Structure 1
């Protein structure tokens, strides 16, 4: 385990035991067996321990959108949003602990919302390029960007709250619905959506049939 990982583990243990506001940087370094200088080399602040990978994840989303081929915008959008979900799923209990913290600590909740707005702006810039110019296109681009973030957050919350054990398939269905409504890249709201998945076709077809009914 790296020093950064030790500090993160110590911090989340203490946040759970004592609360975020009651835990100091000195408490975290003492639990991790490091010093303050080491802490601030790894993290800029106590808050950054809670959201350590935001910038790199946002960069990955931007990179996937930048790599979209002409005609492949819907796929790029779905895959970029999926990167965020997969990151949180890979965190497991850490993501659930963060969820509890952000609901209890207003400053963390505000930072989380600010982070979501950054994703929204990235998706909006991409959607505007896809839709082209015009007031109607600009409206559709904003609706699409909002819908992508909302669909992702809905699925993630369901998983964090223990209400689903199939978040990836839930996400595929949610994004298919978003792209069905907003993802044509034109004034028409009908389009063809292609989503990549490693699941068996028999598992995917029921959800697709429900969307087409």
Structure 2
């Protein structure tokens, strides 16, 4: 008698995840066991534990992979390119959830209703924030209040990401990627450095009866002369 080969690993994982979420919707999280999930997926109990350690892991299967991908993106960044790196790194998580589609929304509903899962999600968010903060601390080493500012930027990045993700999960936006770009711009704007050399902007008030075009025409040579002097 020939034994039936086990399904491919990725196929097995997908079947277990689908079975688990279907059972969670029918019986609730506490009312579902790992044996129930394995039986619904058509695999043995041993196969379940070769794929996941616990039923909680079925809900959060990609966390370690996402952390690794974020870390790899931040590792090749520099202080000068940090805004782009932070936006792209946070975008890795957002696009993962967007690709999951309804599965991500089912997870959100489940986690929101089960305190133990919510606690695990919060712990995961804190891991993301610590990862961002570690890179920022390296980039800001030697700057005034560098470590403090690194923590503030990391918190802002995670908050901006979560704001957009949760709006999409609740069905409040159908343009999450555009929303994400705007939210990151807002989050990072307040932390950008002052102009190089500490240049200040001067406000000049003129009292004149001349029209705007005439004033601009007279000022232009002065501004051009200033720019030439600056370049020298």
**TM-score, scaled to structure 2:** 0.77
The reply on whether 1:56 has 2:65 as its aligned counterpart is: yes
Paired residues of 1:130 and 1:185 also in contact (CA < 8 A): no
Larger radius of gyration: 2
Deviation at 1:141, TM superposition (A): 0.8
Q: Equivalent of 1:25, from 26, 34, 37?
A: 34
Provide, for residues 121-176 of structure 1, a one-character-per-residue CA deviation record: whole Å limited to 9, x for no partner.
00001111121235622211111000001000000010001100000000000001
Determine the structure 2 residue equivalent to 1:65: 74
The reply on whether 1:176 has 2:169 as its aligned counterpart is: no
> Higher relative CO (CA 8 A, sep ≥ 6), structure 1 or 2?
1
Provide, for residues 101-132 of structure 1, a one-character-per-residue CA deviation record: whole Å limited to 9, x for no partner.
11111110010000000000000011111212
Determine the structure 2 residue equivalent to 1:198: none
The reply on whether 1:132 has 2:132 as its aligned counterpart is: no
Q: Equivalent of 1:37, from 46, 52, 57?
A: 46
Paired residues of 2:16 and 2:41 also in contact (CA < 8 A): yes
Please give the alpha-carbon distance, in whole angstroms, between the structure 1 residues aligned to 2:190 and 2:144: 18
Determine the structure 1 residue equivalent to 2:83: 74
Determine the structure 2 residue equivalent to 1:112: 121
> Which 4+ stretches in 1 moved above 6 angstroms?
none
- Which shows bigger deviation, 11-20 or 127-136? 127-136
**TM-score, scaled to structure 1:** 0.84
Provide, for residues 17-53 of structure 1, a one-character-per-residue CA deviation record: whole Å limited to 9, x for no partner.
1111100111111111111100000001000000000
Determine the structure 2 residue equivalent to 1:99: 108
Determine the structure 2 residue equivalent to 1:167: 176
Quote the RMSD (CA, aligned, Å).
1.9
The reply on whether 1:89 has 2:95 as its aligned counterpart is: no
- 5+ unaligned residues in a row in structure 2: which ranges? 1-9, 198-232
Paired residues of 1:151 and 1:171 also in contact (CA < 8 A): yes
Please give the alpha-carbon distance, in whole angstroms, between the structure 2 residues aligned to 1:16 and 1:183: 45
- 5+ unaligned residues in a row in structure 1: which ranges? 189-213
Q: Structure 1 residues 35, 65: closer, same or farther in 2, change over 3 A?
A: same
Paired residues of 2:78 and 2:139 also in contact (CA < 8 A): no
